[in-house]
Amino acid sequence: MAIVTRVPLGFPTTTTTRPSSSSYGQCHKHSSLSIIVPEFSTTSRIYFAASSSPFPQKRGFRGVRAVSAVMSDLARSTVLVTGAGGRTGQIVYGKLKERSEQYVARGLVRTEESKGKIGGADDIFVADIRDASTLVPAIQGVDALVILTSAVPKMKPGFDPTKGGRPEFCFDDGAYPEQVDWIGQKNQIDAAKAAGVKQIVLVGSMGGKTPNHPLNSLGNGNILVWKRKAEQYLADSGVPYTIIRAGGLQDKEGGVRELLVGKDDELLQTETRTISRADVAEVCIQALQFEEAKFKAFDLASKLEGVGTPTKDFKGLFSQITTRF
């Protein structure tokens, strides 16, 4: 009389033997990450194999967790924020860190002092955007780049506001708009393109279509002229881009105003030509999530708080934009 072995429901009813080592490599090629279950044992052990090895490796449930971690990393986008030590840059970097389920944040600053001010983490790189070679370590493996670098005018010493008149401004040697906003941003765009970055978000300023704009006279730097030249270079680069020309930046709470988009400095002729840094930061991050934001350039401002409805539909906001430059 034959002996019948009772087999638990869901398990194979035939005897399963593990293939000999010589049989591996003669089957289908493994994908970059595959799961092999050559047998069910009484301990329900699971065998995993990666493409680097043709033999299954026993890892148990720790292997499951390891695979889950790898898949989680693959699902997130690595985003580099340059100018991360600035007031707007710090907000963008902080928002990315808060959304760690979506993004792996990196920051780039100019000095070790700036790195220390924003926590000094290993994901903060120190580089000189005027020297293209220093950008390479920070840009490798990056999916998206958010450019927030800008030349910063300084008030000339000796100004006494009690005597009336207007203060005079200057730029530090080597830190004029031509060197920072043109050469520095061009270097970032070139480095990103060479590294295969999939999208660049560039934050500029409204006023680029107004030749006599007061910002151009600060320190005789023509800052908006050089910013506009960098924007054009990005638009011509072939890399998917989003160019945000922000209005007057304010250190106010974000998410409580209705945002406005425009073109060619039209918003400068209205009462709504300012925007909070927090709202600019949020638009930068939202631009990474929607195809409607790619290959777009626009002016950005907001209504006064309490007027209109706070913007929540960013896909709809980007869909309003028709200008590529």
Catalytic residue ranges = 205
Strand partners, 50: 33
Look at phi and psi of residue 141 and say left if phi exceeds 0, alpha if psi is from -120 to 50, else beta.
left
Cα separation of the two ends of the chain:
85
Contact of 208 with 228, CB cutoff 8 Å: yes
Type of residue found at 80: L
Question: Please, is 304 exposed, middle or buried when counting C-beta atoms within 10 Å of its C-beta (0-12, 13-18, 19+)?
Answer: exposed
- Backbone angles phi and psi of 113, in degrees to 5: -60, -45
Question: Count of CB atoms within 10 A of residue 181's CB?
Answer: 28
Annotate 220-263 with DSSP letters as a single string: G--HHHHHHHHHHHHHTSSS-EEEEEE-EEE---SSSS-EEEES
Assigned token pair, 298:
């626009």
SS3 300: strand
Do 115 and 253 form a contact (C-beta atoms < 8 A)? no
d(CA 250, CA 11): 65
The CA-atom distances, in angstroms, between 292 and each of 35, 202, 248, 287, 321 are 37, 16, 25, 8, 8
Give the C-alpha distances (Å, rounded to integers) separating 1 from 4, 13: 9, 19
